[in-house]
Amino acid sequence: MQSPAVEIASVASTEPSTSASASTSTAPTAPNPAAGDVEMTAATDPTTATADALNGEQAQQPEREEEEPRFEVVYINNLNEKVKLAVMKQSLTTLFKEYGKVLGVTLHRNVRMRGQAFVTLHDSKAAQLAVKEVKGFPLYGKPMQLAFAKTRSDALVKKKDPQHMSEHIAERTVRKKLSRRENPLRKKELQKKLAAKQAAEAAAAASSSLPDAGASTTTSTTANGAPTSTTTTTAAPRRQVQMPDEYLPPNKILFIQNLPSKTTKAHLEAVFAPYPGLVEVRTIPGRSNIAFVEFVDEVQSAPAKEALHNTKPWEEVMPGDEEAGLRIKVTFAKM
């Protein structure tokens, strides 16, 4: 958001008229009286003192409401997520130091905060000028979106209010826990786990209700020739419940299927490198149509899975290949 410009108009006080005719004429649209004028009116005409005083309060009220807020922390989004954090941090520092001293630049690796940053400047005027001039500036090919942060940064509190640093950190920790609890990606993963559990339970219940496949009946005769039957039951092999791929629990390792026959490790690295946290690409000798891609953790692997599953990335990395139109299948690897 843009900081509102506050304009304070100077109002010249006029001397009260002493003519006899002024008391009966219509009141002029003059500036609101100063404090001294209100007191003098009260001494000469009590019936108008209250109105004049009220006008004075109403004139001062907008000035208090339009008092300029102080913002030192700038929130930035729509940053290029393919740029390494260290490079992005240095670029933002260089860009914003043109407007004043930069106290800190904060970026995060987690999925929820990708493409976002916080820049803390030394005062609000510098921050306001930066928001006004930098908004829309194309950094690494993407126009930046700027606004003022809703809370103070650690760097700002440490510089201007160090005695309350511990309280600030405690409040931030509480906000972080609440934000994590409401994280839509986390909720989505929890729902997938619950659905997988329910599907497994339903499949197990269905298999237990089927008749025993190992039951058999044998017939024999007694000494007097009367036939008798005996039923014996052998344990039937337990049917394995196959969990659908989309319900597999999160894993830092992704299982890649339906690859073109000429896919190499370099091709896979080119496809997955733009996603943060990539650790290793492992191909399978003799199986060119499958591979494994490992990330730092499940948080880093999930965005790559969601973004690439059922897409055609080979048209860019393998142009002209006859199998470039194949849709890639990306799932979490089984434990």
* pLDDT tens digits for range 188-200: 777 777 877 777 7
Average pLDDT over residues 89-101: 91
Number of structural domains in the chain: 2
| Residue finishing a domain among 117, 144, 164 | 164
Q: What residue type is assigned to position 111 of the chain?
A: V
Distances (CA, A) of 19 to 15, 101, 117, 165, 263: 12, 60, 66, 64, 99
Q: What angle do CA 43, 49, 55 make, to 5 degrees?
A: 145
Given a cut of 50, whether residue 176 has pLDDT beyond it is yes
Q: 169 lies in a domain?
A: no
Q: Which helix (H) or strand (E) holds 255?
A: strand 253-257
Candidates 310, 203, 306, 291; CA nearest to 250 is 306
What pLDDT, in 10s, does the model give residues 227-253?
A: 555 555 555 555 554 556 566 788 999
Asked whether 135 and 92 are in contact (CB, 8 A), the reply is: no
| pLDDT confidence bin for 282, thresholds 50/70/90 | very high
Q: What per-residue confidence (pLDDT) applies to 193?
A: 79
Q: 183 lies in a domain?
A: no
Q: 328 lies in a domain?
A: yes
Mean pLDDT computed over every residue of the chain: 71
More confidently predicted of 149 and 148: 148
Q: 35 lies in a domain?
A: no
Q: What per-residue confidence (pLDDT) applies to 68?
A: 41
Average pLDDT over residues 33-48: 39
Q: 26 lies in a domain?
A: no
The model's pTM is 0.35
Average pLDDT over residues 178-184: 63
**Non-local CB neighbours of 289 within 8 Å, separated by 6+ positions:** 257, 258, 259, 260, 261, 263
CATH for 319:
3.30.70.330
**Non-local CB neighbours of 282 within 8 Å, separated by 6+ positions:** 291, 292, 293, 294
Q: Which helix (H) or strand (E) holds 60?
A: helix 46-65
| pLDDT confidence bin for 103, thresholds 50/70/90 | confident
- Give the structural domain span for 284: 253-332
